């Protein structure tokens, strides 16, 4: 089984990468392979709402000159997903926002019932807001979130300081172990317990 971890930090081996690597090491103990995608420093177009991905072959985005289509395919093929981001003005960084808007708009249906979790890294405040923003994507994609003891936020400023946050590291460790367990539960039930029946989507708005 494989998990794709998305690093939304522009710093290749900063604190967000350290946290994702720690989670990867924990899951490796359970035989789960992890690949970290470093997208935070990429030049990524924002979604323009053109709808091309809804009708194109393989639901590919119309923009083909950045990492989104390649990363989307890896995330679709994975058994689990981790979304990791630092905290910028109590929110996710701009490149991560552009990336997630396009990936989830084009690929939402491929993520239904995948195991997925968010993790935020923060110096002082705003980390819970980042977790909530990341969860918005996971909720709307109908993913299954593994539990932990607290919000999956780890504190640190300079690279490596996150490892000094004992409670934060314990929280993401428990989350990673829960993720690995949930992947195995879903694998064990495959072919025995069907996923809920799909329903035709009802769209409403309030302009009359």
From the options 3.40.50.2300, 1.50.10.10, 3.40.50.360, 3.40.449.10, give the CATH code of 2-189: 3.40.50.360
For the cut 90, the answer to whether the pLDDT of residue 5 exceeds it is yes
Phi and psi at 109, nearest 5°, equal -65, -20
pLDDT for 20-70, tens place per residue? 999 999 999 999 999 999 999 999 999 999 999 999 999 999 999 999 999
Looking at residues 73-80, what average pLDDT do you find?
Answer: 98
Looking at residues 112-119, what average pLDDT do you find?
Answer: 97
Burial class (CB in 10 A: 0-12, 13-18, 19+), 206: exposed
Amino acid 80: pLDDT: 98
pLDDT for 189-201, tens place per residue? 999 999 899 889 8
Amino acid 16: pLDDT: 98
What's the predicted TM-score (pTM) here?
0.96
Mean of pLDDT over the chain: 96
> Could you tell me what percent of the chain has a pLDDT over 70?
100
Looking at residues 86-100, what average pLDDT do you find?
Answer: 98
Cβ count within 10 A of residue 140: 12
DSSP string, 134-178: HHHHHHHTT-BPPP-SS-SEEE-SSTTGGGG-HHHHHHHHHHHHH
For the cut 80, the answer to whether the pLDDT of residue 123 exceeds it is yes
Residues 6+ away with beta carbon under 8 Å from 204: none
Amino acid 207: pLDDT: 80
pLDDT for 126-180, tens place per residue? 999 999 999 999 999 999 999 999 999 999 999 999 999 999 999 999 999 999 9
């Amino acid at each position: 089984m494989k998990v794709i971890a998305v690093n939304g930090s522009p710093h290749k081996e900063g604190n967000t990468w350290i946290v994702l690597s720690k989670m990867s090491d924990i899951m490796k103990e359970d035989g789960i392979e992890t690949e970290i995608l470093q997208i935070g420093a990429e030049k990524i177009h924002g979604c323009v709402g053109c709808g091309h991905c809804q009708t194109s072959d393989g639901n590919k985005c119309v923009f083909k000159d950045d990492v989104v289509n390649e990363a989307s395919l890896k995330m679709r093929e994975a058994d689990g997903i981790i979304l990791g981001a630092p905290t910028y003005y109590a929110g996710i960084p701009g490149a991560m926002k552009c990336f997630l808007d396009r990936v989830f708009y084009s690929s939402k249906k491929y993520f239904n019932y995948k195991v997925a979790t968010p993790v935020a890294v923060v110096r002082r405040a705003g980390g819970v807001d980042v977790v909530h923003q990341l969860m918005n994507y996971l909720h709307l994609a109908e993913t299954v979130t593994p539990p932990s003891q607290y919000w999956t936020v780890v504190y640190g400023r300079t690279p490596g300081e996150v490892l000094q946050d004992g409670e934060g590291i314990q929280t993401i460790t428990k989350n990673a172990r829960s993720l690995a367990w949930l992947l195995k539960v879903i694998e064990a039930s495959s072919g025995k317990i069907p996923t809920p029946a799909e329903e035709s989507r009802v769209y409403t708005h309030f302009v009359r």
